[in-house]
Amino acid sequence: MGILTATTVLTGCDEDDERAGCAWTKTQAPTAEAGSTVVLVDGSASVHVKKAGARGPDYGRTVDELLGKEDEQGETVSIGTFGGPAGDVVWTVQERPGDWKESNENPRNQELNRQAANGCLRDDLATAQRTRPVDGGTDVLAALAAGAEMLSGAKGERRLLVLSDGLSTAGCADLRGARFGSPQDLKSIVSVCDAQGEFSELPHLSGVKVTFVGLGHSAGGQPSADTAQRAWLRKLWTTLCGRAGGTCDAEDASVMAESPAPAGPGSPDEPTVGYGDSRSRTITLPGAALFDTDSPRLRPAAVPTLADVAATARTTPSLDRVVVNGYVDPRGGSGNDRELSQDRADSVREVLVDHGVPASRVTAHGRGRSPGCPKEKAVTDMTRAQRLQCDRRVDVEIIRK
């Protein structure tokens, strides 16, 4: 489970917080129909510098104006840090009222409260940015789902501000083997994440305005994205966000600064996204989205997704081979586990070949019962149904020479 811990003594506006700008918010009710903003701060190791003097993202430089505007509008604001493969969020502050006009009838006091409240929000953002993950890796889509859940009961306009380099290393949008700049890779990722119906990994963002800040801007010591790769990341995340029903854009302003706070002792290593340098990439497909129970026959709705996977393999430079591994969950009879998983792997192989992947380069293997979910999955947070779904999967590994 990707629990996060704070390494500073700064806190949000809790019961003991006496900072000016926080005191009046603790007794004020949210303004009806004013709207709500959730700020999600990436806490993964890829955005934290390892030593003093290095460069890294400083999101406070780019969001002061956004937070100020939102506070002036009287919106409630929540700020949290996400990290780990489950996208867990630790909230620095939740649903703080920001209507300074209702806090005091005196115009001078109103202005003082407005300024102090904005300073309080900046402090909370700094606290969130200093929060460290316990587990390495991150799932941006899972974090988006948590942010949308926080907004689910809000009235008025709903905003989600995502401060992240966008380098997911878990879930359907795992970018460790993606070819940045490849339109086909982008299409394949979106297609797999948006598998049919209940098998989609996309959050529910209908009616939410989402803004991404800092995509492609990682801390020193991590591989760096160039202009074209940052543009690809912006296209990927706004496309995934749009498919999830949100109104989405991405700010391209630089967020890099000198000497942000280095990562504290014990911060976990981050799986590396090599911007297309990886020799292999594994695409995980939910078996229940591909096949009916105990059947090796592909559902018609699964074919377009597999066609996108085939196009990704077919257009991979220096393609060596494609390996299809089929798994079943433990519920079936032990006598047909291997046979069913092999038949399913063969069915997926057949579609890949039908869509242009050379047959001589595609092998299919029925692995029988799954040994468990891939290690980047946060299995401790899964329900039994979700674990079974993870077990009855098909992995397509695309390997370059």
pLDDT tens, residue by residue, 286-297? 888 898 888 899
Q: Residue 57 — pLDDT band, cuts 50, 70, 90?
A: confident
**Most confident segment among 2-16, 35-49, 105-119:** 35-49
The enclosing domain of 161 has a CATH number of 3.40.50
Question: What is the percent of the chain where pLDDT is above 70?
Answer: 78
Of residues 53 and 377, more confidence is placed in: 53
Q: 120 and 67, same structural domain?
A: yes
In a domain, 338, yes or no: yes
What pLDDT, on the 0 to 100 scale, is given for residue 266? 61
Of residues 351 and 333, more confidence is placed in: 351
Q: 327 and 200, same structural domain?
A: no
Q: 132 and 252, same structural domain?
A: yes
Domain of 221 in residue numbering reads as 13-258
In a domain, 348, yes or no: yes
Tell me the pLDDT tens digit for each residue of 111-135: 777 777 777 788 888 888 888 877 7
Question: What is the percent of the chain where pLDDT is above 90?
Answer: 43
What pLDDT, on the 0 to 100 scale, is given for residue 384? 59
Mean pLDDT of 26-38: 69
What pLDDT, on the 0 to 100 scale, is given for residue 12? 44
The enclosing domain of 320 has a CATH number of 3.30.1330.60
Q: 296 and 155, same structural domain?
A: no
What pLDDT, on the 0 to 100 scale, is given for residue 22? 66
Q: 185 and 96, same structural domain?
A: yes
Mean pLDDT of 210-231: 89
Burial of 208 (0-12, 13-18, 19+ CB in 10 A): buried
Burial of 143 (0-12, 13-18, 19+ CB in 10 A): buried
Q: Give the CA angle between residues 258, 124, 8 to the nearest 5°.
A: 70
Q: 341 and 284, same structural domain?
A: yes
Of residues 348 and 88, more confidence is placed in: 348
In a domain, 331, yes or no: yes
Compute the distance between CA of residue 184 and CA of residue 206 in angstroms, rounded to an integer. 26
Of residues 234 and 372, more confidence is placed in: 234
Compute the distance between CA of residue 267 and CA of residue 372 in angstroms, rounded to an integer. 26
